[in-house]
Structure 1
Amino acid sequence: MSKEVLCSETEKLLFLLPASHHTPKTITSILNNHPEIKFVSLVGVDLGGNDTDEKIPVSLFLKNIDDFLTFGVQTDGSSVVLPEIATLNNAKVDLIPDLSVNWFVDYNFDHIDTLTGLPVGTLRIPSFLVHNGVKVDSRSILFNAVKNFKSQILKLMKDYPYILENLGIESIDEIEDVVLTAATELEFWVKTPDDKADIEQLSTSQVLKEQYWKRTVGPVRTAMEQSLMYLDAYGLEAEMGHKEVGGVKAKLKGNGNFEHIMEQLEIDWKYSTALQTADNELIARDVVKDIFMANGLEVTFMAKPIEGVAGNGEHHHIGVAVKLKNGKMKNLFAPLDMKKDFMNPIGFGALMGLLKNYEVVNPFVTSTNDAFNRLKPGFEAPVCTVSSIGHSPDNPSRNRTVLVGLIRDMSNPMATRFELRAPNPTSNTYLVLASVYQAMLDGITAVLKNQKTSSELELELSKKPGESSFYLEKSRAYRSEHDVFEDYTEEERNSLFGKPPATVWDNLVNLDKYPQKKSVLLEGNVFNEEIINSYKMATLTQWTTELYNRIIPENMEIVRNCKKIHESEYVSDLDVVNWEKINDLRYYLMKDSLHKKSLFTKIREAIDAQDYPTVSNLQLEMRNKMNELNELYTIYKRNLFELKKVRALG
């Protein structure tokens, strides 16, 4: 791709085909008028969050367009993550186009069409994955969740009309549609290729907030500006791009180029309907990655790419409204009097449902080793199942230490929404939103059936552990306006809000540990047992494979690189003691003997035996021991006058 990505020729390019254009006649006309679009790709999203991509020549697509739009194309289960669904002896999977959302054109700026002089484009069509006549993909699960939420909320408002009064609606007949809106954001680290992280410099810069919302310079500024402009071209309506908390200042070389770039950035765009929001995120990732790469920069969306400094979050903003037949919109969370109440009963019910059922939502939010590395106290990442709604109704606040926050704007009731702070860029947004809607609906149903008022529900949400509730669990608290990291000890947090899972296995096992909560996911056939079991298998395989073949080998390299580097004539007794501690740890972690196995070997053997509880416990021990090793080695090096040349850690 040329560095001058946004050239004048982009004005000639087609970026977006809205849903209103998805008829065979219109599609044919548009593609014939844009010969630079050479290929079509049907984009299905499997249960692992992976999106498919293939190149179908436009000429073939147009020749059979009616069949393509109706029947799609066939593939086999080896192409997608659907374990125990698409099996070896029953692997046929169909990709069926979704005509209800925007389609995007993905351009290859490294490949210029000789006839048009424009980059070659691929029309990416969001699609469903169908196996044995049943949709089994992430997009279809969210599609069904939205459909179920809409139908059930209308039924509840009809059965319990007292709620209409809280919304300022006289009759259910005034409602034309229920609108579920969502928004995500994209945090990511960007760096010059091959640069290694200096953890101490990054940590110091983070504590001093030297990079937070500072002015971008050089190629980072160019790539940021181009990304925002491109997102607009794709119809995402970019709202903001800025530096995040992590990073260090880049260095300017004598030739005018920057080096040692290592910064954390965030880009935001406008909210949309739930399914469109998740689709928008896919194109946004591609745009950001391609444009920063064109400017000579590497991008990572990992949740925790650098241990010891801020990770990448991806807060999900969730709102629900109704569209009235007179054209007006009503927020289903906002109260009639914004200064009197935090929310109306539907809003309280939705929040309570999400909190009560979070044990079965969390497996879709936090599903990788990388994600758990991010969720640690001290990095503005939530670890406790607790909410904040503000200190008082007339004074909205933002508590950044909780799992779910209520966002309010006193002058704009339509802006009332929830911010779920736990997701990260590797979370499967389709499954996160689907499980959240199912959980919220459970709480709303309980609230309306009991015909609770806002004031009663505020007291319920604010209850202390040990106090009974008509819906929430007696043993726990669910609201805190405190800084949950500074104002409570870890023991107090666990007692108040429940002990959070620490590994992928801890999270997955909750889908079996809480059958009543899992049944919430199954309501309306949004999720089913086959889908949940397939997801568990996919996540379990990813967890153990990564542990066995990536994390342990990487840790072995770190252990090997912790070498003795002091000379005898410069050594102090402290150096000797420090090195003995380091060496003992190295042996414990990695060295087998005839009579004793190392921690790494124990983990691998537990994985081979499919003893997952043991794997989980040993993984936590390994994490603690590796942190201890790195800290000890840093202290050891600080006390030495001279250092032998050894390869840098990690």
Structure 2
Amino acid sequence: MQEDLRNFISPEKLNEKDLLYILGEMPEIRFVSVAGVDLMGHETDAKIPVEIFIENIKQFLHGNAVSTDGSSVILPDIATINNGKIDMKADTSVKWWIDRNKDNIDSVTGLPVCTLKIPCFLIHDGQAVDSRSILKRAVSHFQAEIMSLIRKYPETVAGMNIIPEEIAGVEITAATELEFWARAQEDNLELEELSASQELKEQYWARTQGDIRTGLEQTLTTMSEYGLSPEMGHKEVGGVKSRVSRNGARQSIMEQLEVDWRFDHAMQAADNELMVKLIIRETFRRLDIDVTFLAKPMEGLSGSGEHHHMGVVLRLKNGDKINLFTGNEKHFLSRWGYAALMGLLHNYEIAVPFIVQSNDAFRRLKKGYEAPICIVASLGRTLEIPSRNRTVLVGLIRDATDPFATRFELRSPNPHTNTYLAMATMLQSMLHGIRWALNSDKNEDQLLKELCKQPGEQADYLEQTRMYRCEDDVFTAFTDKQRDVCFGRVPATVWENVQSFDLYPEKIPVLTAGGVFTPELIHSFRVAVTEKWRVELEHRIIPNFIKEIRSMCCLHQGGGNPGDDKRWQKVQALRYQLMLELDGRPGIFDRIHQAFDKNDLQTASDTQKIMYNAMKNLRQCYHEYRNHILD
């Protein structure tokens, strides 16, 4: 237990007596930090001297730990300038982390100065309004509703050889897979070199070397010390082999990595992800390697995903556990599992704004990058041999020899997805499908038949015009037009994504059921994500594009070689189209700025797509021009 106490404090120890004992035994803990998570996934951090915590420990544990004016969190139209008070209430149901600063050694103990990180809820006008509280409500609502449905329809668990009275509770298990890029001194790496390495899959699961190996090994070791149970760390498909200078030092590091760790209950799983990111950043920073969790750090290269896994287990009073989704020998899933999957797919349009919420995320979700852009699932080609289809939105993970392995893998999230909100929408969506199936007295055969329907076939729950199961590669088996018909039109920008709230008003009650989301929270999130879209586009993406365009210089002199002038003219035409006014028509960048000035968000969104296409063409033209320069 002492080993555990070095890095985290378990929920059963989060009481006044045990905390005071631990703090007395660990004088290197000099600060506490209250860590709430706002609607955009930003986690707060404030250094409070531990003496203040000890003096006010009852208030920290049972009241409002800290209050702020709301300027430190993103809760638009909730924490307003004239009503911005936010109270922070400690969560004693999860681990409290001990965060070590290895760059700051305590002069008394000789140990790194530590901060006790306290996960919190954000309270405004007496209501919890943060991401963690939304997930907490979703978990409680899901658990209560499942127990209620089991009591109402005991025959639905009879095939599992149990009766409702034997069930002690419902557990939601969750985990995430985290991909990221590690880079240092990569300026001299050519995009073509990186892209070729990716296409050849030279880096995927290759042996790590040098500082990358050290960083990955230290990350996994630290995760173990924090009780995070790492399962694997490996190189992903992106990147190139790092180069070695004459003195033996590695340079030009640009590699994509992935780390995976063991599942936990939903709230702890989301907290674990934030801690893993902190460990990764700090570990690689000490090696002078920058880490980015952007979904698409470089155009033309593999993006980073963060697949979300979720399952449901019944905990029996005798201590046994049963996977609620595992099917019998004739089915991929139980009726509970089929219904949950149908709920995920049917309600994805109103869940996706919370899952894919940035410009960067949409640059990742494009056809041809094995990214899930279609609302479709895969169950596997046969019952006997589970398979994986990386082109679908939701995959069924199962092991014929292990019933506890059955779970769903949502493939659209990325490392910047707000995991708390993503998991909350998953639970609400699954519950909607389960409630419909049981209230409609649907059995496994009927549910599987509807899940496997073809476009145009009759459906009682799913959309009649669509199909929802595919075991083929959706990018090669269908044309663009066929995909739109079979799976629905895919949003291409943040603005198109949030329009789902207006296009599917009948599905909003799925989110608000049980008071999990409120209309005020949905509105606040929508305002926040729309403003983030605008600011990123105007003040980050366009300025970066301008720098890139200005770097595309004319490389030939005089007449040059045959074709040089013509190829350069193509480049120039696109540069002008993007940046300059021609024949009285503003350049693309200016048209976006003007649209935002007029609050014409639809035009800004449409022009953003034109901008991306123009930049893609410009890069291709400049690449062709530069590659044909002889002298």
Fold shared per TM-score above 0.5? yes
Q: 1:101 aligns with which of 71, 94, 98?
A: 94
- Write the deviation string for residues 431-463 of structure 1: whole angstroms up to 9, x where unpaired: 000011000000001111111111211111000
**What corresponds to 1:6 in structure 2?**
none
Report percent identity of matched pairs: 48
Q: 2:316 aligns with which of 317, 324, 331?
A: 324
* Matching of residue 88 in structure 1 with residue 81 in structure 2: yes
- Write the deviation string for residues 128-169 of structure 1: whole angstroms up to 9, x where unpaired: 000000000000000000000001111111112221123332
Q: 1:461 aligns with which of 451, 456, 460?
A: 451
* Matching of residue 78 in structure 1 with residue 60 in structure 2: no
**What corresponds to 1:417 in structure 2?**
407
**What corresponds to 2:175 in structure 1?**
183
Which letter maps to 2:617?
E
Call closer, same or farther: CA 1:144–1:402 in 2, change over 3 Å.
same
**What corresponds to 2:120 in structure 1?**
127
**What corresponds to 1:249 in structure 2?**
241
Call closer, same or farther: CA 1:69–1:129 in 2, change over 3 Å.
same
Q: Indicate conservation of the 8 Å contact 2:31/2:50, yes or no.
A: yes
Call closer, same or farther: CA 1:197–1:438 in 2, change over 3 Å.
farther
* Matching of residue 634 in structure 1 with residue 623 in structure 2: yes
**What corresponds to 1:610 in structure 2?**
599
Residue pairs, 1:479-494, within 5 angstroms: 479-494=469-484
Residue pairs, 1:273-284, within 5 angstroms: 273-284=265-276
**1:244 is paired with a residue of what secondary structure?**
strand
Q: Indicate conservation of the 8 Å contact 2:4/2:226, yes or no.
A: no
Which letter maps to 1:288?
I
Distance 1:191 1:580 in 2: 35
Residue pairs, 1:219-618, within 5 angstroms: 219-335=211-327, 337=328, 339-572=329-562, 574-592=563-581, 595-618=584-607
Shift of 1:196: 5.0
Distance 1:271 1:591 in 2: 52
Which letter maps to 2:528?
A
Unpaired runs of at least 5, structure 2? none
Q: Indicate conservation of the 8 Å contact 1:166/1:344, yes or no.
A: no
Shift of 1:507: 0.6
**TM-score of the aligned structures, taking structure 2 as reference length:** 0.98
- Write the deviation string for residues 93-119 of structure 1: whole angstroms up to 9, x where unpaired: 011100000010111111000111100
Q: Indicate conservation of the 8 Å contact 1:129/1:135, yes or no.
A: yes
Which letter maps to 1:376?
K
Distance 2:495 2:29 in 1: 45
**What corresponds to 2:195 in structure 1?**
203
Distance 1:500 1:166 in 2: 39
**What corresponds to 2:137 in structure 1?**
144
Q: Indicate conservation of the 8 Å contact 1:340/1:394, yes or no.
A: no
* Matching of residue 15 in structure 1 with residue 7 in structure 2: yes
Shift of 1:563: 2.1
Q: Indicate conservation of the 8 Å contact 1:380/1:401, yes or no.
A: yes
**2:71 is paired with a residue of what secondary structure?**
helix
Distance 2:5 2:186 in 1: 34
Distance 2:442 2:356 in 1: 32
**TM-score of the aligned structures, taking structure 1 as reference length:** 0.95
Distance 1:355 1:426 in 2: 22
- Write the deviation string for residues 51-96 of structure 1: whole angstroms up to 9, x where unpaired: 0000010111001100111221100110100000000000100111
Distance 1:177 1:242 in 2: 36
* Matching of residue 117 in structure 1 with residue 122 in structure 2: no
User: Pairwise CA RMSD of aligned residues?
Assistant: 1.3
**What corresponds to 1:7 in structure 2?**
none
Distance 1:274 1:297 in 2: 31
Moved over 6 A (4+): 10-13
Residue pairs, 1:139-178, within 5 angstroms: 139-169=132-162, 171-178=163-170
- Write the deviation string for residues 579-633 of structure 1: whole angstroms up to 9, x where unpaired: 1111111111110257221111110011111111111110000000000000000
Which letter maps to 2:176?
T
Number of residue pairs matched by the alignment: 629
Shift of 1:372: 0.3
Which letter maps to 1:626?
M
Which letter maps to 1:102?
K
- Write the deviation string for residues 274-305 of structure 1: whole angstroms up to 9, x where unpaired: 00000000110000010011112111000000
